[in-house]
Amino acid sequence: STADDTSKVVVITGASSGIGEATAERLAAEGHLVVLGARREDRLRDLSDRITAAGGRAEHGALDVTDRHAVKAFVDGVAERHGRVDVIVNNAGVMPLSRLDALLVDEWDRMIDVNVRGLLHGVAAGIPHFQAQGSGHFVTVASIGAHEVPETSAVYSGTKHAACAITEGLRIELDPSIRVTTVSPGVTTSELADSITDPGAQQAMVGYRAAAIPADAIARAVSYAISQPADVDVNELIIRPSRQR
Ligand code: NDP
């Protein structure tokens, strides 16, 4: 093993594209062991292979964060194989934007299931390990949508406000040996907008996306947060394109 004192075991959900993928590549390049979960296992396999070929350490497994038992089994498996879980990056998310009066209620449910329940499942899976170890770090990927509510973003922003509240709750309630970071990206290059089915919201995205920053900009924020010494807890980071208003 190439592990040293600063090398961490990092679980990343939603690692098959966008911000999760970029975070996996960056953290692996920095010497961490990354454990990648998402539904598209073929994409994870390609990413794992790329990381390994570059001299990094990666593992992957199919994971649907809406399945509470699957998330627990995923994280328990990491602890069994490696004796610890240092960081859980709860990143998986969907963003099918629409105006409330379009009544895309199934899509509201989907956002709540992935963005809120999925986060809670990661939290529930991590807490027992972090408490037993006496250390751990939850990184929540929220959104600029947790700080503002643009048109078409009511439910998405609702899920991201919830993500911030849950993460702040972890900070207040858990032992100080367990750190929490909320990373809120602005418009970032990824596949996120592909989940939009509403034509109006799709159209609005075209202008927005012109200002997008690379996913590695967010990966660098995660790297910064998890590389601080144990007595430093970076709680909130907003990273937006300079051009985004
Ligand atoms: P992508 O669509 O590129 O990535 C989303 C990831 O989430 C994919 O890997 C997808 O993998 C995974 N995912 C979706 N549903 C599930 C599920 N049920 N179980 C497990 N994994 C799932 O978008 P981003 O990289 O942009 O999104 C990452 C996070 O960043 C999200 O939480 C998003 O809300 C947030 N964000 C992104 C912004 C941006 O502009 N890009 C701005 C603000 C926040 P798979 O389909 O294989 O399961």
Complex ipTM value: 0.99
Question: With pLDDT > 70 as the criterion, what percentage of the chain qualifies?
Answer: 98
The residue whose CA has the least distance to atom 17 of ligand 1 is 64
pLDDT tens series, the chain, 245 aa = 444 568 999 999 999 999 999 999 999 999 999 999 999 999 999 999 999 999 999 999 999 999 999 999 999 999 999 999 999 999 999 999 999 999 999 999 999 999 999 999 999 999 999 999 999 999 999 999 999 999 999 999 999 999 999 999 999 999 999 999 999 999 999 999 999 999 999 998 888 888 999 999 999 999 999 999 999 999 999 999 998 87
Which domains are delineated in the chain? 9-239 (3.40.50.720)
Q: How far lies 41's CA from each of 47, 99, 195, 242, in Å? A: 10, 33, 19, 34
> How far does Cα 109 stand from its chain's mean position?
19
User: What pLDDT, on the 0 to 100 scale, is given for residue 5?
Assistant: 66
Active-site residue, selected from the candidate residues 156, 179, 217, 234: 156
Residue among 181, 187, 189, 183 at smallest CA distance from 214: 189
Distance 125 CA to ligand 1 centre (A): 19
Mutate to test the pocket of ligand 1, among 12, 21, 39, 69 (most ligand atoms within 8 A of CB): 39
Q: Is the CB of 17 under 6 A from ligand 1?
A: yes
pTM given for the model: 0.97
User: What pLDDT, on the 0 to 100 scale, is given for residue 210?
Assistant: 87
Sorted by sequence, the CB contacts under 8 Å of residue 94 that are 6+ apart come out as 110, 111, 114, 115, 192, 195
User: What pLDDT, on the 0 to 100 scale, is given for residue 204?
Assistant: 86
Distance 115 CA to ligand 1 centre (A): 9
Name the helix (H) or strand (E) containing 127: helix 118-133
User: What pLDDT, on the 0 to 100 scale, is given for residue 4?
Assistant: 57
Q: Across all residues in the chain, what is the average pLDDT?
A: 96
Atom of ligand 1 at shortest distance to CA of 15? 9
Listed as own residue / partner, the contacts of 71-79 with beta carbons closer than 8 Å and 24 or more positions apart are 71/13, 71/118, 71/121, 71/122, 71/124, 71/125, 72/121, 72/124, 72/125, 74/11, 74/35, 74/37, 74/125, 75/11, 75/122, 75/125, 75/126, 75/129, 76/125, 76/129, 78/9, 78/11, 78/35, 79/129
The residue whose CA has the least distance to atom 39 of ligand 1 is 188
Query: Is 156 one of the annotated active-site residues of the chain?
Result: yes
User: What pLDDT, on the 0 to 100 scale, is given for residue 111?
Assistant: 98
Q: Is the CB of 217 under 6 A from ligand 1?
A: no
Name the helix (H) or strand (E) containing 34: strand 33-38
Q: Is the CB of 125 under 6 A from ligand 1?
A: no
